[in-house]
Structure 1
Amino acid sequence: MTAPLVTILDDEPAIRTLLADTLEEAGFRTLTFGRATEFEASLKSVTPDVCLVDLSLPDRDGLTLVHRLALEQGATVIIISGRAQVQDRVTGLELGADDYIIKPFDPAEVVARIRARLRRDTPARQTGDTATFEGWTAHFNSYVLEDDQGQETPFSHAEGEVLRLFLDRPKRLISRQAMQEALGGGAGESFDRAMDVRISRLRTKLREDPKNPRLIKTIYGAGYIFLGDVRWR
């Protein structure tokens, strides 16, 4: 089995070297980049399992890049940044990042977080990559929602994690705590805000009435329930 590929995008050579050495010792394959343009060019020929992205890049806004990766690439995206403000973390998660690590960091923690993210993806993949429900088909291998007319709408990796959680547990209450335990990431306000944004985006893509959603119901003070009938294949 091929080792997972981790790409490292950071303009500081010492950090790139530190992360690459640590990850390779832990059994990962790595590719390192100092500029966003080089990294984006590589995506034409490689498919990373995890992207580590610094926000302070010399040639591109890191948050814009994170958003594009989340929507188009389907890889797990972990921000590694010196920006420690709560709002920076909230914004990064809202734009589709799966995790946010603040510099300076312990390299062993980065390895642990990557392994945790990959473990969370594995059980869902074993149940199948395609689910049908209420006239929709969710293709998790290509991160696309397809309606009954064949029209496709892309969703991000982070949105896909939430959707898969709902589809794995239809017609069951999922509390905020259960979501945090299943999806990981920081607890508290930043996690709650990120979940609100992802669920709102999923409702929009499923063409739900925001005032009276049919599929993803909010149970105030308790959590959420997905009301559709689901079939995995």
Structure 2
Amino acid sequence: MTTPPSAPLVTILDDEPQIRLMLAEALEAAGFRTAGFSRATEFEAAMAGLNPDICLVDLGLPDKDGLALVHRLATNLGAAIIIISGRNQVQDKITGLELGADDYIIKPFDPAEVVARARALLRRGRSVPTTKSRIARFAGWSADFDQFLLQPEDGAPTPFSHAEGEVLRLFLEAPNRLITRAQMQELLGGEAGDSFDRAMDVRVSRLRTKLRDDPKNPKLIKTIYGAGYIFLGDVQWQ
């Protein structure tokens, strides 16, 4: 059975051929398209012509630092990122999530688990917005969730990552309302705990920077200590 060209594309970056093959077979059987790479340089060169929905990235790459690559992808690419790694230290997981990854899977793993988590990420990306529009306007800014761009009235656009976009959509869909950490965990998925909280804090911090929102006296994204966040302002969807 041929996978249709409209099927979600998953890129697999891992230097072990058997892992790439195992993941490709499982994902394609589940209806995904796949593209595999053994080197970060090869993968980065291919990104100019690809628009993946999900990137699977092994941290133990032979030619570049995997965490640095995850950070670049989270900053410049709209795709969701799942780290697959033999590193099972809690700090590695926390660092990966803080740098912008959406999920972290430790080797060895069952390919069915990867498929399930990929599907969950796509569901999250499609289900969070309740409006039909994909462009929101607020406080002199526009957020384009098709192109993953923040556009100010007086300057050049700034890209935001898939992970940052999930948080931004939560705020823009519920302006002037408290969004608790428990609600964020429920809507965005992930394991509740310090690693999730730190990942959310990092994403909010990055959004503040991109929105020129002074972290010491924020006007848009207010932290309610011990509770969560409130996005202040009127939002119009187009």
TM normalised by structure 1 equals 0.96
Alignment of 1:148-227 (within 5 A): 148-227=153-232
Q: Determine the C-alpha separation between the residues in 2 that align with 1:79 and 1:142.
A: 23
- Equivalent residue number for residue 35 of structure 2: 31
Closer/same/farther in 2, CA of residues 180 and 108 from structure 1, 3 Å limit: same
Report the number of matched residues. Answer: 233
Kept after mapping to 2: 8 A contact 1:100/1:185: no
Matched, 1:81 2:85: yes
Kept after mapping to 1: 8 A contact 2:77/2:160: no
For residue 206 of structure 1, report the CA deviation from its aligned partner: 1.4
Gaps of 5+ in 2: none
Q: Determine the C-alpha separation between the residues in 2 that align with 1:125 and 1:165.
A: 10
For residue 140 of structure 1, report the CA deviation from its aligned partner: 1.6
**Partner residue of 1:60 out of 64, 68, 76:** 64
For residue 186 of structure 1, report the CA deviation from its aligned partner: 2.6
For residue 185 of structure 1, report the CA deviation from its aligned partner: 2.1
Cα RMSD over matched residues? Answer: 1.4
- Equivalent residue number for residue 44 of structure 2: 40
Give a deviation string over 1:185-209, Cα, whole Å, max 9, x none: 2321110011111111111221122
Give a deviation string over 1:96-150, Cα, whole Å, max 9, x none: 1111111111111111100000011113286322100011111122222111214
Q: Determine the C-alpha separation between the residues in 1 that align with 2:186 and 2:224.
A: 19
Q: Determine the C-alpha separation between the residues in 1 that align with 2:107 and 2:125.
A: 25
Gaps of 5+ in 1: none
Give a deviation string over 1:44-93, Cα, whole Å, max 9, x none: 22211110000000111111111111111211111000111111111111
Q: Secondary structure at the match of 1:209?
A: coil
Q: Determine the C-alpha separation between the residues in 2 that align with 1:17 and 1:64.
A: 25
- Equivalent residue number for residue 131 of structure 1: 136
Q: Determine the C-alpha separation between the residues in 2 that align with 1:43 and 1:175.
A: 36
Stretch moving more, 167-176 or 143-152: 143-152
- Equivalent residue number for residue 21 of structure 1: 25
- Equivalent residue number for residue 143 of structure 1: 148
- Equivalent residue number for residue 101 of structure 1: 105
Q: Secondary structure at the match of 1:174?
A: strand
Q: Determine the C-alpha separation between the residues in 2 that align with 1:126 and 1:41.
A: 35
TM normalised by structure 2 equals 0.94
- Equivalent residue number for residue 122 of structure 1: 126
Kept after mapping to 2: 8 A contact 1:144/1:154: yes
Q: Secondary structure at the match of 2:178?
A: coil
Kept after mapping to 1: 8 A contact 2:59/2:84: yes
For residue 175 of structure 1, report the CA deviation from its aligned partner: 0.6
Stretch moving more, 149-158 or 74-83: 149-158
